[in-house]
């Protein structure tokens, strides 16, 4: 038995819903779902995989033809991770006010902060800005082991901004290696305009 689901032009998550319904109507056999965007393609194949059905995808003229082979009874989908909104959260601002993460051990705290900043480079969505103040500026100046990761973030479009008064206070203004210098107005504006902030 062969069945087609033409999901072109449908909004997320409709392609998934229609594909699932079509799969429910057949005993076994093949369903071909046609979608016109990457997100729908990903979501429909996630559905098939979570049902433990074989998938075969072909691309042609901007459309994706997703063949799903129903070879056994349907179970309820497990771990189906459907995403409709894939736009990055561009409004996350992180305020870093220390050169270590957490309390307890200074040594461990510094390692964890380094790990945190490295991991920021690996995880989507990226934050919009990272602001450094007080002891946090130690992470953006000469000798810091976080420079490379912060430069990486900056090259990916993340704004790196350090508190000028703080760089001054620690006498490291001429040792700044990554990002720009801002004052309290910048910091307050960035934090006030952010929809999501994390303070460390």
Q: Which residues bind another protein (CB under 8 A)?
A: 107-108, 111, 114-115, 118-119, 148
| Helix or strand (DSSP H, E) at 123 | none
Q: Rounded to the nearest whole angstrom, what is the least distance from the CB of residue 107 to another protein in the complex? A: 7
- What's the min distance (Å) between Cβ of 101 and another protein? 11
| Residue with Cβ nearer another protein (112 or 181) | 112
CB-based contact 44:19 (threshold 8 Å): yes
> 33 — phi, psi (to 5°)?
-105, 130
Q: In this complex, which beta carbon is closest to another protein, that of residue 108 or of residue 188?
A: 108
Provide, rounded to whole angstroms, the least separation between the CB of residue 111 and another protein. 6
C-alpha closest to that of 64 among 42, 85, 47, 86: 42
Question: 88 vs 115, which CB is nearer to another protein?
Answer: 115
Residue with tokens 């305020």: 95
Q: Tell which residue, 64, 85, 80, 78, has the closest CA to residue 12.
A: 85
Q: Which is nearer to another protein, 84 or 108 (CB)?
A: 108
């Amino acid at each position: 038995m062969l069945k087609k689901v033409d999901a072109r032009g449908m909004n997320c998550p409709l392609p998934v819903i229609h594909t699932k319904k079509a799969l429910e109507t057949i005993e076994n056999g093949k369903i071909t779902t046609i979608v016109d965007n990457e997100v729908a393609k990903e979501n429909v194949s996630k559905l098939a995989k979570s049902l433990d059905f074989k998938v075969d995808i072909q691309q042609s003229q901007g459309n994706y033809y997703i063949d799903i082979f129903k070879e056994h009874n349907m179970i309820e989908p497990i771990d189906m991770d459907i995403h409709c909104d894939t736009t990055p959260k561009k409004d996350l601002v992180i305020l870093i006010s220390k050169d270590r993460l957490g309390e307890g051990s200074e040594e461990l705290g510094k390692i964890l902060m380094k790990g945190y900043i490295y991991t920021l480079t690996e995880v989507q969505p990226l934050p919009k800005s990272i602001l450094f103040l007080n002891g946090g500026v130690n992470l953006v100046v000469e000798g810091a082991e976080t420079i490379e990761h912060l430069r990486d973030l900056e090259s990916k479009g993340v704004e790196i901004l350090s508190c000028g008064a703080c760089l001054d206070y620690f006498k490291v203004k001429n040792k700044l290696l990554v990002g720009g210098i801002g004052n309290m107005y910048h910091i307050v504006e960035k934090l006030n305009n952010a929809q999501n902030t994390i303070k460390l």
